[in-house]
Structure formats: structure tokens, C-alpha cells
Amino acid sequence: MTSIETTQKLKAKFGDLISEPVEFRGEITVKVADAEQIVAVCEFAKKQLGYDYLVDVSSLDNYGDDPRWTIVYHLRSLASGCELRFKTDVSEEKSELPSVIGIWRTVNWHEREIYDMMGIRFRGHPDLRRILMWEGYPYFPLRKDFPLAGKPSDIPGVAFSKPAPLEGGPFVTVAGANSATTREPRVRNPEK
């Protein structure tokens, strides 16, 4: 069964909840109109359509638009090799949707990272706490309204007290050089 055939089965089961499939570079994406139904759609995709591997879950910040957040679920069927992507929107006012941890246990750290970096909560997650930033950190660093220079901290030794520079360091390459070899910093400065 191809990814397009599975989207037809999704449409037959869920009707207007599932958008028409969009193909881009050979990848198929469908939109789930109601984020509250993502568990039912994912459960059907796993149990009835064979999408047994959750590759990734990520989030997009559509800052300035409503709904603000888009959550993207990337699924794969190990038996058929087909891949499918679900997208669903979450409003800034709600900033919450159900967890799919009951379907794929591997979503644990994905949902925690989205919570930590974007502030989107996953209802029903058994251990929704920060995974990269420390507990009590008041910001969500991957939101588009978070300043690129960072925010100063009053906690010495835990974080930078000044914004970190964006240039310099051993891994900065030169744009527009003829080859990857000439862009490599150690080639330009062999003594380092």
C-alpha cells in the first residue's frame, strides 16, 4: 500500500477531519483539522495502516498568525517503507494538545523537547518536564519572539550572563570559497 492509498483510507475513516494529501518532493502530508483528534488519527495510522515507527515530532512557530503553532508527526511503515506526515494546528491561547505516548512510547522525549523549547503542553504525558533547559527557566528559546542574542541571566555559573557572540570560533567557514576543503578553518590557519 502506498502513502497516497493510506491517505484515502484516512479520508474514508475520518472524512473532513483529514485534508487532501499534499505531495512535495515525493513526501505526502495531510492536515488533521482538529488537534484534539490527533490521538485517534495516529492510532488508526498505526494499528490499521501499519505506520509502526514514529520518526519524529516537531513544531513550527507561525508567529503573528493564528493558530500560532503547527505540530508535525513524521511516520513510517517499516513493512512497506512508506512515509506519511501529519500536521495539526494549536492556538496560542490553548497551547495544548493530547499526547500520543499511548501509541508510540518513543514520543516521550520529542514531546518534552517541544514543551521545553516552545511551551506547548501535551495533555496526558506522564513526565512533561524540561529536557534541555533547567526547571524554572522562564522562557521558551525556539519561539520566534525570543531574541536571537539571548537573554541575560542573573544566575552565575548556570548560563551566560552576557549574550554569546554569533561569530568567531574554530568552526566558522568562509562563504563562497571554491570547495569545502578551502572553507575548512584548519586549512586557512594550519597552526590552530
**pLDDT for the residue numbered 134:** 83
The per-residue pLDDT for range 2-19, each reduced to its tens digit, is 899 999 999 999 999 999
Q: Which of 85, 93, 33 is closest to 68 using CA atoms?
A: 93
The per-residue pLDDT for range 159-186, each reduced to its tens digit, is 545 554 444 444 555 566 666 666 655 5
* Residue spans per domain, the chain: 3-146
Distance of CA 140 to the CA centre of its chain: 14
Q: Tell me the CATH number for domain 3-146.
A: 3.30.460.80
Whole-structure pTM value: 0.79
